[in-house]
Amino acid sequence: MPEGTVHEAEVHAVLSARSKPRSNGTIKKKVVGLSAALVIALVLPQVVTNTYWLGLLNFLIIYSILCLSLNLILGFTGLLSLGHAAFYGIGAYTTAILMTRYHVGFLPAMLASAMLALVFSLFLGIPASKVRGDYFTLLTIAFGEIFRLIAQAWIGFTGGAMGIVGIPIPKVFGMPIRTETQFYYLGLILLAITFVCLTIIVQSRIGRALIAIREDELAAKSMGINTPWYIIMAFTIGSFFAAVAGSFLAVYQTTVTPSNFRLEESCLMIIMVIVGGMGNLWAPLAGVLIMTLATEMFRSLAEYRMLIIGGIMMLVLLFRPQGIFGSSAFKD
Amino acid sequence: MGLLETRNLVKSFGGVMAINDITLDLEEGDILGVIGPNGSGKSTFINLLTGIYRPDQGAIRFGGHDITGLPAHQVTRRGIARTFQNLRVFSNVSVLVNILIGQHTQIQNRLYHLFLTPLAARKREKAAEKKALGLLKMANLADRRDELAKSLPYGEQRLLEICRALASNPRLLMLDEPCAGMNPNEMDTLADFIRELRAKGHTILIIEHNMPFIMSLADRIVVLDAGRKFKDGPPEQIQNDPEVQDIYLGKEDDI
Ligand SMILES: Nc1ncnc2c1ncn2[C@@H]1O[C@H](COP(=O)(O)OP(=O)(O)OP(=O)(O)O)[C@@H](O)[C@H]1O
Ligand SMILES: [Mg+2]
């Protein structure tokens, strides 16, 4: 039986001869890179004290959480979802409504928001996992539009176009979060949790199943992968973290309006992921940084915002189709 | 009782009877060669056995269980693995990850394991990696573990695809034209590899057009013609059968 095909001694020889030093080297590099990033992130608010820049950093954090989670769906599983902003919005509105009308604390409200997004993504994911390609994308667009229309039209519940205002100051384990710096650290913790959870998933058998689906769905099935199940899994986990970002947005902005969650937002997230690079978990962060800074730099040219975003994306697609740090091109 | 039994399998596409009433038994440890002219239904036969297509009629039993109509991923869990006629490795991931994906059914980690028992989950991953390296070593691919699958030469990609199928620890391995597009050197390597698998007791079904290759490897040959089982016998008998030569020649005349 094939059990006998693996000879322990041989494997050991291979492991010690070639691969150990190499993989140790890359692990060391990763540890150094991660620690450096963490140290910089921790001291940043000590250096950047200007509230304008701190505010920008907080939006960077929100988009980072959104794009990391979108990367699981788009970069790893290969599903072009244009509904990410809707799950972001479900998170924001749920937190806003629970905190303002029912006086729920921030952490329970955030958890409830993420769970609600999970339930909605499950409802959408089940039919979506059965249709592929363009139909999947159309379903997510439809979902996003329905969400936005409900947010706009159901005035009694969502506040309509005015949205929900006066979201109370969040307390985390009794500590009120008021200043830009405090929000920054809260956001950083949420980002770190997202990053760690997604890293664990991506580096496991589950992450590899998602990659297999992206690469060749029929071959993936033949490897014993229950493809619809894993598509739903990627979609729900991604949506869960999008709602976490939305929840943070609600307490940070103290208001939520439907315009925060337009289709345009979903497009922007996709562009950030593509520019940063897909397939590598952290690569979209580069896209978040570049696109945010670029749009801020040309703030005075607000009406040309989409033009600038489109221009950057064209340049990247022309000269580096896999994105700046990506490992897989969007379509081979 | 055979490892694999098909009973009166039928599959048609529109008006084309791709598989027409095929009954066939395969014993554990055998290497079965399946030959036949282009379009005779060989690939369709594998696709029926692996759950890619559902038969219109008939039954498939594997290891004593009825697996007729099971979806592909469940068939793989039961112990049937395959390669594809037109190479389908996972191009943009490393050689090692290709094998690890092939081990999907062998690694028990579920989502909750990753977060609730992370150490045990990590251990299972490490064990899988070790096993994967053993497989790659057997195919002389261990040095290329970190290279992207698409960067390997064609013959090695074919070998990788076979290793990926073996990674699921199958009871039955099915290869769809493994020699297609290979040069003579690569074919020799492949033949040696398959002999090694046979020595280890694997049961293998091979579809192949290359006659010397398949005749030297198979214990038994089945000839398909227009979806029907045309002949079934030992290689020497099939090789010298004038009717078998006729169907091949007939087809070549058409072209
Ligand atoms: N998905 C499909 N849809 C329609 N017809 C199909 C399909 N798959 C196979 N066929 C038809 O079924 C018949 C058998 O095809 P099959 O691919 O099984 O032949 P084969 O023996 O593998 O040929 P080859 O040697 O060219 O690989 C052919 O007439 C083919 O056109
Ligand atoms: Mg074929």
Q: What does the pLDDT read at residue A155? A: 80
Q: What does the pLDDT read at residue B2? A: 85
Q: Please give the Cα distance from A60 to A58 (Å, whole number).
A: 5
Last residue of a domain, one of B104, B119, B153: B153
Residues B72, B178 within the same domain: yes
Residues B40, B149 within the same domain: no
Q: What does the pLDDT read at residue B241? A: 83
User: Nearest residue on chain A to B196, judged by CA atoms?
Assistant: A5
Write the DSSP symbol of residue B22.
E
Residues B27, B137 within the same domain: no
Domain assignment of residue B124, yes or no: yes
Residues B74, B100 within the same domain: no
Residues B190, B226 within the same domain: yes
User: Measured between CB atoms, does A19 come within 8 Å of chain B?
Assistant: yes
Domain assignment of residue B159, yes or no: no
Q: Which of B249, B201, B226, B192 is nearest to B18 (CA)?
A: B226
Cα(A281) to ligand 1 centroid in Å equals 40
Q: Which pTM does this prediction carry?
A: 0.88
Q: How much is the average pLDDT of A237-266?
A: 93
CA distances from B57 to A40, B8, B54, B62, B239 (A): 66, 7, 9, 17, 31
Residues B97, B74 within the same domain: no
Any bridge partners for residue B175, and if so which? B206
- pLDDT higher than threshold 90 for residue B43: yes
Chain A residues with CB under 8 Å of B92 CB are: 215, 279, 327-329, 332
Domain assignment of residue B160, yes or no: no
State the residue range of the domain holding B137.
Answer: 91-153
Question: Number of structural domains, chain B?
Answer: 2
Residues B37, B142 within the same domain: no
- Reported as a single tens digit per residue, the pLDDT across A150-179 is 988 888 888 787 888 888 889 888 888 888
User: Measured between CB atoms, does A196 come within 8 Å of chain B?
Assistant: no
- Reported as a single tens digit per residue, the pLDDT across A13-22 is 444 444 444 4
- Reported as a single tens digit per residue, the pLDDT across A53-91 is 888 899 999 999 999 999 999 999 999 999 999 999 999
Last residue of a domain, one of B105, B125, B153: B153
Cβ neighbours for A13, distance < 8 A, ≥ 6 positions apart: none
Average pLDDT across chain B, whole number: 90
User: CB distance A5–B118 less than 8 Å?
Assistant: no
Residues B131, B23 within the same domain: no
Q: How much is the average pLDDT of A301-306?
A: 73
Q: Please give the Cα distance from B31 to B91 (Å, whole number).
A: 29
Q: Which of A34, A97, A88 is nearest to A62 (CA)?
A: A88
User: Does residue A212 contact residue A328 with C-beta atoms inside 8 Å?
Assistant: no
- Reported as a single tens digit per residue, the pLDDT across B98-129 is 999 999 999 888 888 888 988 988 999 999 99
Q: What is the identity of the amino acid at A225?
A: I
The verdict on the CB of residue B240 being under 6 Å from ligand 1 is no
Q: Please give the Cα distance from B22 to B17 (Å, whole number).
A: 11
Residues B248, B127 within the same domain: no
CA distances from A198 to A78, A86, A310, B102 (A): 16, 20, 28, 22
How close A135 comes to chain B (CA, Å)? 22
Domain assignment of residue B102, yes or no: yes
Domain assignment of residue B200, yes or no: yes
Residues B73, B191 within the same domain: yes
Contacts with B, A 240-299, CB within 8 Å? 279
Share of chain A above pLDDT 90, in %: 45
The arrangement of strands across the sheet holding B228-233 comes to: B80-82, B172-176, B203-207, B31-35, B220-225, B228-233
Residue with tokens 């690890």: B100
Q: What does the pLDDT read at residue B49? A: 95
CA distances from A238 to A137, A140, A213, A322, B247 (A): 15, 13, 16, 21, 56
Domain of B176, CATH number, reads 3.40.50.300
Any bridge partners for residue B172, and if so which? B80, B203
Domain assignment of residue B163, yes or no: no
Atom of ligand 1 nearest to the CA of B227: 14
Q: What does the pLDDT read at residue B251? A: 55
Q: Is A300 exposed, middle or buried (0-12, 13-18, 19+ CB in 10 A)?
A: exposed
- Reported as a single tens digit per residue, the pLDDT across B146-157 is 999 999 999 899
Residues B67, B174 within the same domain: yes
Q: What does the pLDDT read at residue A49? A: 76
- pLDDT higher than threshold 60 for residue B167: yes
Cα(B217) to ligand 1 centroid in Å equals 25
